[in-house]
Amino acid sequence: MSYETILVERKDSGVAIVRLNRPKVLNALNRQLMGELRDALEQLDNDEAVKVIVITGNERAFAAGADIKEMAPKGAIEMYLEDQFRTWDAIRRVRKPLIAAVSGYALGGGAELAMMCDIIIASDTAQFGQPEIKIGVIPGAGGTQWLPRLIGKSRAMELILTGRMFSAKEAYEWGLVSKIVPAEIYLEEALKMAEEIASMPPVAVQLAKEAINYAYQSFIM
């Protein structure tokens, strides 16, 4: 399948790389990109040769959020009827591990996409944020749930209510990202980790992912 807004590469190691590819607009997530991303992830998830999927952007931006220019003319009813968040649900259902390799901006929907992944590796230039408040909306793809769960309520409130960006260092200290590496090698490091996971027994890997994610949905009494 060929795509216009993403690039997909499969490696012999069992690792697939999905690169968001709208560099002129900092990989803003328009409907076409999200649809292509969903299709590619579904296909890779069903491909037995693929064990781990790395999602990345470029050095300047992982993704600067939902495409504001596409969204601006739309009213609430049109957006509701389009049901664009169904696409995001499909990404959440991917059973293979997803690693986000983040450099530069990961804002709004871009930060949410990274948080939807199972592991985030950040370059030292990465800047995260939920700036939606500044344009009169709220994080629409899970940021209001993920951020407090991952970094605590008080910090999440501050960041979402002010829209302030935060650095890779802060994200690391708060436990949002698992590793910070120099910008020149962020993808290489993510691929190294992906290859290590891809060499593990695949069913156990998928079950472990499922079990860890279950920790965010329930409490065992």
Residues at the contact surface with ligand HXC, assessed by CB under 6 A: 25-26, 28, 64-69, 105, 107-109, 131-132, 135, 137, 140
Q: Which is nearer to ligand HXC, 47 or 59 (CB)?
A: 59
Give the active site residue among 112, 114, 156, 198.
112
CB 153 to ligand HXC: min, Å: 21
Q: Which is nearer to ligand HXC, 109 or 202 (CB)?
A: 109
Give the active site residue among 40, 63, 66, 168.
66
Longest dimension (CA), the chain: 50
> Does 132 participate in catalysis according to the annotation?
yes
Helix axes 109-116, 143-151, angle to 10 degrees: 60
Structure token pair of residue 172: 């690391």
CB 35 to ligand HXC: min, Å: 16
Which helix (H) or strand (E) segment is 70 a member of? helix 68-71
CB 60 to ligand HXC: min, Å: 8
Scanning the structure block, which residue is given the tokens 């490091």? 189
Find, among 118, 120, 140, the residue nearest to 66 by Cα: 140
User: In which region does residue 130 sit, left (phi positive, over 0), alpha (psi from -120 to 50) or beta (all else)?
Assistant: beta
Q: Which of helix, strand or coil describes residue 16? A: strand
Give the active site residue among 57, 104, 108, 109.
109
> Does 109 participate in catalysis according to the annotation?
yes
CB 84 to ligand HXC: min, Å: 9
Give the active site residue among 57, 132, 156, 168.
132
What residues act catalytically? 66, 109, 112, 132
